[in-house]
Amino acid sequence: MRGIMGQARRKRILLGITGGIAAYKAAELVRLLVKQGFEVQVAMTEAATQFITPTTMQALSGQPVLLNQWQDEAGMTHIHSSRAADAIVIAPATADFIAKLAHGMADDLLSALCLARDCPLLVAPAMNKQMWSNPATQRNVQQLAADGIAVLGPACGSQACGEEGMGRMLEPAELADEIVASFQPKLLTGIKLLMTAGPTYEAIDAVRGITNRSSGKMGYAIAQAAREMGAQVTLVSGPVALTTPVGVERISVNSAQEMYDAVNRRAGDADIFIGVAAVADYRVAHPAEQKIKKSAAPMTLELVANPDILADIASLPNPPFCVGFAAESERLAEYAEQKRRAKKLPLLVGNLAQQAIGSDDNELILFDDNGNHPLPRADKLTLARLLMQHIAQRYKGAKL
């Protein structure tokens, strides 16, 4: 199973469900968290049981559901259960429950658990847009943030009441991502990371172009992993069909030249630069403005070399810590090491093109001055997290 990385034992999440219609989505959240390798125990307020049954939550979590203060003989459920948790997540969190948290109330099991905790608390608000924008709720949410509680969302969109606006709970997959992210070591806090991802598109005429099969998945996973570890991430992306990871600034470009310009404008400010994009080596010398008409005569396209973005950034007088990628179809170690030296990179990540392109899994080998370090085959986000941990260490080592 793909779990969160680097944990000695399974992390325990106490998932608190309060009484809102988004409670039905908590069932999917439990399923996703269990799939990620977390142990999940659910606690529900009385109002939550009006929306979804404890039986459902017990079946999905495989643990008894906590419903009231008096479940253990000593009446200490709030202390025992909060001590056992590595994090408490409230999803959905109603306006009423947020108000209780903001004021330190403890008049039911879930609020008592939160008050008695010595672990991080994450809260996913879900309510009608008017309730969300009410100054009282806004005051309370600010108080939670000031108290060090992570507020996840809400999102904007259609609401169960038929209205449209701010107050929808984040989707279970987004919440699961945020929860996993909260467990990542914050090795890159304060670091500005600039990176490229995806393919480039070199126009031939108004409708045709030269591109490649890069999906952007590896680059987007790296952007997400870096942001989870506290980095400020700017992602210069070629055309891909992927959603931008939460908290990442994305700059969309098409051609290698546009990518080059976007990177150059920001390179002076970056601490780390990672070139993950599959940049086209050549572009069409004279792209036609209109669609070229078909004719029986043979056709020749004149191609000219594109700038090498990574090599140029790495040879700046005061370059950021530069990391490159090499996708090779054969003799990976030899070509990767050659490329690393030619582009003057402290670190180059190699992978076999036929294993990597478009797929969800990958296998990486890291090449640096000390030789090579293979990372085990895994999904791209797991590999991205391991890679970013390695980069964080190497970056800090290089600064000493």
161 is catalytic: yes
Q: Which of residues 80-109 bind ligand C5P (CB under 6 A)?
A: none
Residue 346 binds ligand C5P, judged by CB under 6 A: no
Given the residues 114, 119, 156, 161, the one annotated as active site:
161
List the one residue from 309, 357, 388, 392 that touches ligand C5P (CB under 6 A): 309
**Torsion angle (degrees, nearest 10) of CA 311, 313, 318, 320:** -110
Residue 324 binds ligand C5P, judged by CB under 6 A: yes
Q: Which of residues 183-212 bind ligand C5P (CB under 6 A)?
A: 196
Residue 275 binds ligand C5P, judged by CB under 6 A: yes
Size of the site for ligand C5P (CB under 6 A): 14
Nearest to 253 by CA among 202, 184, 313: 202
Residue span 276-295 as binding mask against ligand C5P, x where in contact by CB under 6 A, dash where not: xx-x----------------
Residue 256 binds ligand C5P, judged by CB under 6 A: yes
* Between 245 and 350, CB nearer to ligand C5P: 350
Cα separation, 172 vs 202, in Å, equals 38
- Close Cβ partners of 305 (under 8 Å, ≥ 6 residues apart): 281, 282
* Between 41 and 196, CB nearer to ligand C5P: 196
* Between 212 and 244, CB nearer to ligand C5P: 212
List the one residue from 308, 337, 361, 363 that touches ligand C5P (CB under 6 A): 308
Q: Where is 338: in which H helix or E strand? A: helix 332-342
Residue 381 CB, nearest approach to ligand C5P (Å): 19
Cα separation, 89 vs 124, in Å, equals 8
What does the angle CA 394 – CA 364 – CA 370 come to, to the nearest 5 degrees?
40
- For 264, phi then psi, to 5°, come to -60, -35
- For 387, phi then psi, to 5°, come to -60, -45
* Between 52 and 280, CB nearer to ligand C5P: 280
- Close Cβ partners of 330 (under 8 Å, ≥ 6 residues apart): none
List the one residue from 214, 306, 362, 382 that touches ligand C5P (CB under 6 A): 306
List the one residue from 325, 378, 382, 389 that touches ligand C5P (CB under 6 A): 325
Residue 236 binds ligand C5P, judged by CB under 6 A: no
Residue 238 binds ligand C5P, judged by CB under 6 A: no
Residue 267 binds ligand C5P, judged by CB under 6 A: no
* Between 150 and 353, CB nearer to ligand C5P: 353
* Between 103 and 344, CB nearer to ligand C5P: 344
- For 132, phi then psi, to 5°, come to -65, -45
Terminal Cα distance for the chain, rounded: 38
- Long-range contacts for 221-224 (Cβ within 8 Å, ≥24 apart)? 221/380, 221/381, 221/383, 221/384, 222/195, 222/197, 222/274, 222/276, 222/384, 222/387, 222/388, 223/195, 223/197, 223/248, 224/177, 224/181, 224/248, 224/381, 224/384
Can you give the binding site for ligand C5P, defined by CB under 6 A? 196, 256, 275-277, 279, 306, 308-310, 324-326, 339
Residues annotated as catalytic are 161
